[in-house]
Amino acid sequence: MNAAEVRQQLKELMVSELNLEGKSPSDIDDVAPLFGEGLGLDSLDALQLAMSIEERFGVRIPEGAEARPIFASVNALVDYIVRTQAG
């Protein structure tokens, strides 16, 4: 699966799993932070998203501090997923 396919599926997953009211996949900025001022996700969202990503893409998301850079943005998640699937 290439990065563009992963990016689209990831955004669709985020909208459906995280109940992002009024947002469509195209509204999600690839480089904006997922937490805080960006998309505004919280720790429960992170857990839900990690479980959904593991199920959909067949990759393992580490926990704790190791996961922070992976969840920095959509681009960071896509890079991690593509790199892990290729490995």
Dihedral of the alpha carbons of 27, 32, 35, 37, in degrees to the nearest 10: -90
Taking the C-alpha atoms of residue 41 and residue 51, their distance in angstroms, rounded to an integer, is 15
Taking the C-alpha atoms of residue 70 and residue 52, their distance in angstroms, rounded to an integer, is 15
pTM for the whole thing?
Answer: 0.93
pLDDT for the residue numbered 14: 97
Q: Backbone phi, then psi, for 41, in 5-degree steps?
A: -75, 160
Taking the C-alpha atoms of residue 86 and residue 68, their distance in angstroms, rounded to an integer, is 21
How does pLDDT run along the chain (87 residues), one tens digit per residue?
899 999 999 999 999 999 888 899 999 999 999 998 889 999 899 999 999 999 999 999 998 899 999 999 999 999 999 999 988
Taking the C-alpha atoms of residue 48 and residue 71, their distance in angstroms, rounded to an integer, is 12
Q: Say which CATH architecture domain 3-20+30-86 belongs to.
A: Orthogonal Bundle (1.10)
